[in-house]
Amino acid sequence: MLKIFSLCSIKAWEEDENFLRKVEINVLIPKKIREKARVECKEYVDAFTECCSSSGIGMVVKCRKQNTTLKACLTKYYHDPEFFEMCKTEYLKERKNFRETGIKQKDLPAKQSKSEAT
């Protein structure tokens, strides 16, 4: 009985393109949000990295200002519902592409560059 239920539930989420599993909502989409937020806050990330690399062990005290501005920038994106929806839509497109082709998104540029080289 359990196998029938689990097969039916698996089939249900495979059929619905917009259905998101818990791991996708709680792990994979937030990971995409973090990556995109770091790109959007690049100037603050670079300033914090530069401060930390030049400060050594005293970075905890010396880089508070840079850390505060970086956290403020990142938090703005983490709590933005429009940004979440944009990342969710992008994730769904990538997942759909993977289901159709079997090629992971991170492998896609490498495969394209190899085919262009030959």
Q: Tens of pLDDT along 96-112?
A: 998 888 888 777 665 55
Which CB contacts under 8 angstroms, 24+ apart, belong to 12-17? 17/92, 17/96
Q: Please say if the pLDDT value at position 45 is more than 90.
A: yes
Alpha helices in the chain (DSSP H): 2-15, 22-23, 29-40, 42-55, 59-62, 64-78, 81-101, 108-117
| Prediction pTM value | 0.72
pLDDT, residue 51, reads 93
By residue count, the chain amounts to 118
Tokens of 102: 């079997």
Mean pLDDT of the chain: 83
